[in-house]
């Protein structure tokens, strides 16, 4: 069973361009989470999605950032008009559906390192 | 508030020593805690978890201790090996809420 896959692993963009980050969850996982990590800091939650639904986007910046998890295909984190402050590692995690309110382990992908020039 | 640009706390140990990494969590409602290991250039890797109805849980070479009174979590690694060198993060969440809140991390350096 392949793990969580993210691509590209490294992405370089100039200020004002768009960045698209892709995440394919583990087989059987219907929940996807996106986190951002600045250098020498912990991961910060951005958005939680299930197929075709955004469940919690409380960690997403209000402008320029959007996420989707379509019925078919990977989850996409999209950053429009990137600025230097968007440079970070972006991690995707997936989990199976939770049950009885219990927590299910999140499995993390290798991340996409975005550099904005 | 958060501090940006500070170096991670670092714990340096010799191979074979026992290591203890500490974490203070913030939300008294949190009832599930996880330790992750992150090697350079990789995503976080699950090490061990503990629920709030326990105060200790053991795995292979690792032990997690939970003190809910002072909202403190620790990770003990026995007989530390060079391969244990990484950044270690604690994370918290609570039942019915799926997202994780991560601590700032501790870098563990193991010298042969």
Cα B105 to Cα A43, B14, B93: the distances in Å are 9, 20, 16
Stretch 32-61 of chain B: residues touching chain A, C-beta under 8 Å? 32, 34, 36, 41-46, 49
Average pLDDT score over residue span B82-101: 89
Q: What is the pLDDT along chain A (117 residues), one digit of tens a residue?
A: 579 999 999 999 999 999 999 999 999 888 999 999 988 788 999 999 999 999 999 999 999 999 999 999 999 999 999 999 999 999 999 988 765 556 678 899 999 999 999
CA neighbor of A79 nearest in space, from A91, A63, A94, A57: A63
Residue A32 with chain B: CB contacts under 8 Å: none
Q: Tell me, yes or no, if B25 comes closer than 8 A to chain A by beta carbon.
A: no
Stretch 29-88 of chain A: residues touching chain B, C-beta under 8 Å? 31, 33, 35, 38, 40-45, 48, 55-56, 59
Parallel/antiparallel/unpaired status of strands A107-108 and B19-24? unpaired
CA distance A91 to A36: 6
Share the mean pLDDT of chain B.
90
Per the model's pLDDT, the better-predicted residue between A86 and B2 turns out to be A86
pLDDT in tens, B50-79: 999 999 999 999 999 999 999 999 999 999
In order, the DSSP letters of B35-54 are: EEEE-TTS--EEEEEEETT-
Parallel/antiparallel/unpaired status of strands A43-50 and A53-56? antiparallel
B40: nearest CA in chain A? A110
């Amino acid at each position: 069973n392949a793990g969580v896959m993210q691509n590209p692993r490294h992405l370089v963009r100039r200020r004002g361009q768009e960045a698209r980050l892709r995440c394919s969850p583990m087989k059987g996982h219907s929940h996807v989470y996106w986190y951002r990590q600045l250098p020498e800091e912990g991961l910060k939650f951005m958005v939680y999605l299930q197929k075709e639904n955004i469940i919690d986007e409380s960690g997403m910046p209000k402008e320029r950032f959007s996420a989707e998890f379509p019925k078919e295909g990977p989850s996409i984190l999209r950053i429009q008009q990137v600025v230097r402050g968007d440079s970070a590692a972006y991690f995707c995690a997936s989990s199976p559906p939770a049950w009885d309110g219990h927590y299910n382990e999140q499995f993390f992908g290798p991340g996409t390192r975005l550099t904005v020039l | 508030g958060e501090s940006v640009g500070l170096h991670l706390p670092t714990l340096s140990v010799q191979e074979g020593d026992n290591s203890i990494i500490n974490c203070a969590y913030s939300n008294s409602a949190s009832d599930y805690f996880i330790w992750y290991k992150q090697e350079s250039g990789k995503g976080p890797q699950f090490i061990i978890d503990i629920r709030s109805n326990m105060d200790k849980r053991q795995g292979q070479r690792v032990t997690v201790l939970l003190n809910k009174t002072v909202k403190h979590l620790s990770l003990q690694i026995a007989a530390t090996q060079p391969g244990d060198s990484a950044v270690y993060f604690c994370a918290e969440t609570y039942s019915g809420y799926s997202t994780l809140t991560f601590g700032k991390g501790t870098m563990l350096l193991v010298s042969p």
